[in-house]
Amino acid sequence: MIEPIDFTAWSCPLPLRSYPTIVMGHGGGGKLSAELVEHLFAPAFRNAALDALGDAAVLTLESGRLAYSTDSFVVRPLFFPGGNIGKLAVNGTVNDLAMMGAKPRYLTAGFILEEGLLVSQLGVIVEEMAAAARTAGVQIVAGDTKVVDRGHGDGVYINTSGVGIIPDGIDIRPQRAQPGDVVIISGEIGLHGVAILSVREGLEFGAPVESDCAPLNGLVEAMLAASHAIHVLRDPTRGGLAATLNEIARAARVGVVYEERKLPVPPAVAAACEMLGMDPVYIANEGKLVAVVAPEAADVVLEAMQRHPLGAKAAVIGRITAEHPGVVVARTGIGGSRVVDMQVGEQLPRIC
């Protein structure tokens, strides 16, 4: 007969700071959870709404339409050249809001931690989230933490949700692309995907490649200050530029034509693609946007982008056409053309 164990009087003999790793108790809602909030999250994200530590953040917003978005981040490895999962989680949701023309205001953050994660690693991730939030001018006002058994997660998963205000007179959505509109990309493509691939697979492509992970709301604000004739904004993340252009073509029932020679492809990305048989237009970006702009406003929007540090290499790459609705066509370097479809699954390195 086994003696029943009495848990009621039990408490962890050690305070949080002497645990070098995450243990199951950090998600248990007890003292360990509270200490994680008190010593890590609250000081890093510090703001009035969060400091109230209520069951929900209470926010006051100016009038206008609300944009609201959510995204989950499961990137492997957690740390990569140019960022980490925390920076990605903040910028990802900030950018989703910005692509509707919204001014991002508040984010929430949900953490799923794997037992055994180094607290020091979590600390760096949280610090970088706080820094990214400051850069983007948003506040992280609510959060949640759960812990899963070792082997049931990849260290950290983060979900962020966010709200932003869409100013009056702004109507940006994929359906508004119309024949004659000009397609602009804000800078060099393929950097995030190649940076991840290089660390994940231990491959080198000449020069080291850093992720382009960055908040785009400042760039969008500069563009909108130049003109309101911006019809569509999209950030070409997973699936790359090809997926984004296809989504626009299908949503607006228009065709898209772009010139391959005008795509800004950095040499290291081009080298990686040559080596692996991939195409830069299918590779993920985390700090770029595609703008579809009325032709008469294209010059002023492009100039506004090029004046902003995140748009310095912005370029016109193509246009919207009434021909071949729903289909994206690339004009190739030697003057041919081909259909650029979405991928079925993930892009796979070709054998030869």
Partner 1 sequence: MKYLDEFRNPEIAQRLFDEIRRMTTRPWAIMEVCGGQTHSIIRNGIDQLLPPQIELIHGPGCPVCVTPLETIDKALMIAAQPGVIFCSFGDMLRVPGSEKDLFRVKSEGADVRIVYSPLDAVKLAQANPEREVVFFAIGFETTAPANAMAVYQAKQLGLRNFSMLVSHVLVPPAIAAIMESPATRVQAFLAAGHVCTVMGYWEYEPLVERYHVPIVVTGFEPLDVLEGIRRAVAQLEKGEARLENAYPRAVRREGNVPAQKMLADVFEVTDRAWRGIGVIPRSGWRLSERYREFDAEARFAVANIRTQESPLCRSGEVLQGLLKPNQCPAFGKECTPRTPLGATMVSSEGACAAYYQYGRFVQVEDIPVAPSV
Contact residues for partner 1, defined by CB under 8 A: 201, 203, 261, 267, 270-271, 274, 276-277, 279, 324, 327, 332-339, 341, 344-345, 348-352
**Cβ distance to partner 1 smaller for residue 13 or 335:** 335
DSSP state of 37: I
**3-state DSSP call for residue 84?**
strand
Between CA 191 and CA 286 the distance in angstroms is: 8
Find the shortest distance in angstroms from Cβ 242 to partner 1.
12
Smallest separation (angstroms) from partner 1 to the CB of 334 = 4
Separation of alpha carbons 172 and 231, rounded Å? 5
H or E, element range at 197: helix 191-201
Cis (ω within 30 of 0) for the bond into 267? no
Compute φ and ψ for 22, nearest 5 degrees.
Answer: -70, 135
Of 333, 174, 150, which is closest to residue 243 (Cα–Cα)? 174
Cα Dmax for the chain: 85
* Cα angle: 279, vertex 281, 282; to 5 degrees: 75
For residues 309 and 335, which CB has a smaller minimum distance to partner 1 in the complex? 335
Q: Which is nearer to partner 1, 274 or 296 (by Cβ)?
A: 274
Evaluate whether 59 touches 141 at the Cβ level (below 8 Å): yes
- Give the closest residue to 147 by CA, choosing from 8, 29, 11, 39: 29
Nearer to partner 1 (CB atom), residue 114 or residue 279: 279
What are the backbone angles phi and psi of residue 111, rounded to the nearest 5°? -110, 130
Q: Which of 46, 35, 41, 73 is nearest to 144 (CA)?
A: 41
Q: Kindly tell me which of 61 and 339 has the beta carbon lying closer to partner 1.
A: 339
Q: Report in angstroms how near the CB of residue 351 gets to partner 1 at its nearest.
A: 4
Dist CA 22 CA 150 (whole Å): 10
Q: Give the nearer residue to partner 1 in terms of CB position, either 226 or 256.
A: 256
Our CB check for partner 1 shows the closer of 40 and 315 to be: 315
Burial (CB count <10 Å: 0-12, 13-18, 19+), residue 121:
middle
Instruction: Judge whether 104 and 149 are in contact, CB under 8 Å.
Output: no
> Which CB sits closer to partner 1, 13 or 202?
202
The nearest distance, CB 169 to partner 1, in angstroms, is 36
Query: At closest approach, how far in Å is the CB of 177 from partner 1?
Result: 17
- Closer CB to partner 1, 303 or 341, in the complex: 341
Tell me which residue of 161, 290, 299 sits closest to 232, measured CA to CA. Answer: 290
CA dist 319 → 88, 179, 185 (Å): 30, 8, 11
Nearest-approach distance from CB 206 to partner 1, in angstroms: 9
**Shortest distance, position 21 Cβ to partner 1, whole Å:** 24
